[in-house]
Amino acid sequence: MPIHSPSRTGAVVARTLPDLTAALAGRDDVALVPTMGALHEGHRALLRAARAAAATVVMSLFVNPAQFGPGEDFASYPRDEEADLSVASAEGADVVFAPGADVVYPAGFAVSIDPGPLGGELEGRSRPGHFRGVATVVTRLFGLVRPQRAFFGEKDYQQLVIVRNVARDLALGVEVIGVPTVRDADGLALSSRNRFLSPSERERATTLSAALRAAGRLHAAGERDSALLLDTARTRLAMDPDYLELRRRDDLGAYDPNRPAILLVAARLGTTRLIDNLSLEDA
Ligand code: AMP
């Protein structure tokens, strides 16, 4: 794969569809990195993977109202566009697409994408409509940017699988590429929401990844019994999880002891909801 050098002049910011069309004119081999901003090292890893893979890197920056439910944190979701633009430029993004909601959802917008049954499981059970919102905005971004590749974090593993399903089933012509989760030194998966944790919540949050790793070690030692693996993880959690589930890794179908597996967890710490997962074969 050719390595392309980052742009030296900083990313072009496109806020409207004509801006975007102008910014993309004459560009092919486009990689898209969709984000909601408040960028951290996890987003940087996606931008680097995209930069290494494609001639043109487009980062979208849009806090998508359609993927937040009533009572969720849409209003308080962290926003810092100035910092995000400098991170995107530092990581060599060519274009930052930062549209307003009226650009993504213009008057008359009426279609949404059903993410299929997986959209109602795991995260979807706690967040009805979330993955419909994700699938719809990602499909629209794919239509607007027309990337050949798109990069998503394994941290949001169910989102990655659903976006892959959408791209495959609707034949969108986009290769969806997963990027490994970036973690703090104590194991906590980086998230824009971590800043909302109090010191004591931050400490309890480390038990999420510790619990996953404990089950991972047991799995690496040959244990395949789902109840034992789940109990090992559950006893290490400092909170009651929304869910703690073992699934097949490739498509998040029912756990099969003879196939690659993934352990997924979600929990609320105060008002902050965190998710994490671990591929057990990697443990
Ligand atoms: P967000 O801005 O939270 O919507 O995330 C944008 C993209 O960054 C998604 O594909 C996420 O999965 C990915 N991402 C978020 N946190 C991490 C992380 N800690 N490691 C890797 N990717 C991440």
Does ligand 1 come within 6 angstroms of the Cβ of 265? no
**pLDDT category of residue 281 using cuts at 50, 70 and 90:** confident
- In DSSP notation, the chain reads -PPPPPPSS-PEEE-SHHHHHHHHTT--SEEEEEE-S---HHHHHHHHHHHHH-SEEEEEE---GGGS-TTSSTTTS---HHHHHHHHHHTT-SEEE---HHHHS-TT--------GGGGSTHHHHSTTHHHHHHHHHHHHHHHH--SEEEEEGGGHHHHHHHHHHHHHTT---EEEEEPPPB-TTSPBP-GGGGG--HHHHHHHHHHHHHHHHHHHHHHTT---HHHHHHHHHTT-SS-EEEEEEEETTT--B--TTS-EEEEEEEEETTEEEEEEEEGGG-
Q: Which atom of ligand 1 is nearest to the CA of 43?
A: 8
Does ligand 1 come within 6 angstroms of the Cβ of 267? no
Q: Which residues pair with 3 in a beta bridge?
A: none
Q: Which residues contact 205 (CB under 8 A, 6 or more apart)?
A: 188, 194, 197, 269, 274
| Dihedral class, residue 226 (left if φ above 0, else alpha if ψ from -120 to 50, else beta) | alpha
Does ligand 1 come within 6 angstroms of the Cβ of 96? no
What is the CA(34)–ligand 1 centre distance, in A?
9
Does ligand 1 come within 6 angstroms of the Cβ of 182? yes
In the predicted model, is pLDDT for residue 23 greater than 50?
Answer: yes
In the predicted model, is pLDDT for residue 44 greater than 80?
Answer: yes
The span from the CA of 90 to the CA of 8, in Å, is 9
Q: Given ligand 1 and candidates 41, 43, 162, which is best to mutate, with the most ligand atoms within 8 Å of its CB?
A: 43
What is the CA(257)–ligand 1 centre distance, in A?
29
The span from the CA of 208 to the CA of 211, in Å, is 5
Give the tens place of pLDDT for each residue, 183-229: 999 999 999 999 999 999 999 999 999 999 999 999 999 999 999 99
Tokens of 174: 């986009």
The angle formed by the CA atoms of residues 12, 16 and 17, to the nearest 5 degrees, is: 100
pLDDT, average across residues 87-104: 98
What is the CA(85)–ligand 1 centre distance, in A?
16
Q: Which long-range contacts (CB under 8 A, 24 or more apart) does 168-174 make?
A: 169/116, 170/113, 170/139, 172/139, 172/142, 173/148, 174/32, 174/142, 174/147, 174/148, 174/149, 174/150
Q: Nearest C-alpha to atom 17 of ligand 1 is from which residue? A: 42
In the predicted model, is pLDDT for residue 6 greater than 80?
Answer: no
What is the CA(22)–ligand 1 centre distance, in A?
27
In the predicted model, is pLDDT for residue 282 greater than 90?
Answer: no
- What is the b/e burial string over 207-227, where b = at least 16 CB atoms within 10 angstroms of the residue's CB? bbbbbbbbbbebbeeeeeebe
Q: Nearest C-alpha to atom 6 of ligand 1 is from which residue? A: 35
Active site residues: 43
Report yes or no on whether pTM surpasses 0.75: yes
pLDDT score at 8: 52
Give the tens place of pLDDT for each residue, 141-184: 999 999 999 999 999 999 999 999 999 999 999 999 999 999 99
What is the CA(223)–ligand 1 centre distance, in A?
30
pLDDT score at 1: 43
Q: Nearest C-alpha to atom 13 of ligand 1 is from which residue? A: 153
pLDDT score at 160: 99
pLDDT score at 9: 63
Q: Nearest C-alpha to atom 3 of ligand 1 is from which residue? A: 36
Q: Say which amino acid occupies 90.
A: A
In the predicted model, is pLDDT for residue 283 greater than 50?
Answer: no
